[in-house]
Structure 1
Amino acid sequence: MPRSPEAQQRQRDILHIAMDTFAARGYNNASLAEIADRAGLTQAGVLHYFRSKALLLTSVLELRDQSDIEQLGPDRPHGLDFLRHLVDTALRNAEREGIVRLYAVLSAESVTDDHPAQEYFRDRYDGLRSFVTDALREACELSDEDTPRAENAANAVIAVMDGLQVQWLLAPGAVDMAASTDLVVTSLLAALAPHRFGPDGRARQAGEGRTK
């Protein structure tokens, strides 16, 4: 990290410019020359703050994650609370197009050979899959034997959320990411635990004076 406040601000400016550039052009098509020009620097000036283009990309992804961590709060929610957090995230994403575009572009691009963000996205999906699986198991009170079903459902939730982002970027007026995510999560809960989240389960809970 640069020590002076001015240098730290310059570093932040470069990161935000790089985020916009990577989101618009992808990693492979974005150039350090363009990023440097937009930042009012030479390429050597950008490399003074970030030793390589790959390191700049990594720093951009860390900045994106920091935004998610700040919104999540100090403690990760569990069970139904985490699933509700996913719906809330879809709602917030509709207000941060740049970050959504960055994620959509780079996650798709990362499947190409030797892409510097490939390990990042592989680890991210592994972690998110584990979180969603645990949340579904907790919410539905599933046994260890039902873990494969919860994992399949978690993959479906993640796939829906990612696919909705692409559709929303192309036609924002036609896609409600939060409503669609909520519908899928609700349907999967009913499929995994009909005794709790299906029509009979909801009716029983209502009769006992409890809510979902």
Structure 2
Amino acid sequence: MAGTRAKRGEYAKTAERRHQILSAATEVFATLGFHKGSLRDVSERTGLTQAGILHHFPGKSDLLNGVLVWRDEQSRERFDEGLSAGGLRTLRTVVDLIQYNQTTPHLVELYTTIAAEATSTDHPAHEYFQRRYAWAVRTLREALEQAAAAGQVAPGLDCARAARLTVAVMDGLNIQWLLDRTSVDVADDVRQHIQSLLTVEL
């Protein structure tokens, strides 16, 4: 029993330490980007040595991947069921997710900063964002197609194009919001945009 308790204590300590590192790395990458942000910056925010950080994440690319996966896990815990439901429910869940994101501006800033950097093919997050954008467009397209089959979208709507434009609207509004958080409501503006595609109330 004593050995089991000790192991659980070590697991908890390790999980807490990883969370501490990921939180600090999120701040560093969101503020400085991947290339300018350093393990030293993360070390200064955590009080850990760089060797201590490397014990949990073998390199800076691994740390960035850990941050992005951590961000996705937080979203999945809250919204996966709705996003996979299809049709209007998925579209409503997209708005709910954006509204939640506005409560975590550091994560929105991280995503916006790294996504811009990752357009370079040699960036360690390039493939991650390719997959991420493909998933976002596909999810919206399928939801709109299901709504179209139910007669809930504007006649003749090109669902694939509408999905791409909706992702572009979300990204653009996020940038505007990060620059001026008092006059931009991303969730409400995206809701109005999606509503303009529909013939029923979202």
- TM-score range normalised by the length of the shorter chain: 0.7 to 0.9
Matched residue pairs, number?
Answer: 190
- Structure 1: segments with no counterpart, 5+ residues: 190-196, 203-210
Q: Note if 1:90 corresponds to 2:98.
A: yes
Equivalent residues of 1:26, 1:106 under 8 A apart: yes
In the TM superposition, 1:185-196 aligns within 5 A as 185-189=194-198
Q: Cα RMSD (Å) of the superposition? A: 2.2
Equivalent residues of 2:177, 2:186 under 8 A apart: yes
Bigger Rg, structure 1 or 2: 1
Equivalent residues of 1:90, 1:178 under 8 A apart: yes
Q: Deviations over 1:42-75 (max 9, x none)?
A: 2111111100100000000000001110111446
Query: Sequence identity, in percent?
Result: 36
- Structure 2: segments with no counterpart, 5+ residues: 1-7
SS at match of 1:111: coil
One-letter code of the match for 2:158? Answer: R
In 1, distance between residues paired with 2:193 and 2:80? 25
In 1, distance between residues paired with 2:107 and 2:166? 20
Q: Note if 1:132 corresponds to 2:140.
A: yes
Q: Cα 1:155–1:94, aligned 2, differ >3 Å: closer, same or farther?
A: same
In 2, distance between residues paired with 1:91 and 1:7? 32
In the TM superposition, 1:118-197 aligns within 5 A as 118-141=126-149, 149-189=158-198, 197=199
| Offset, 1:37 | 2.0
Q: Which residue of 2 aligns with 1:54?
A: 61
Equivalent residues of 1:137, 1:147 under 8 A apart: no
In 1, distance between residues paired with 2:197 and 2:80? 26
| Offset, 1:107 | 0.7
TM-score (structure 1 length as normaliser): 0.83
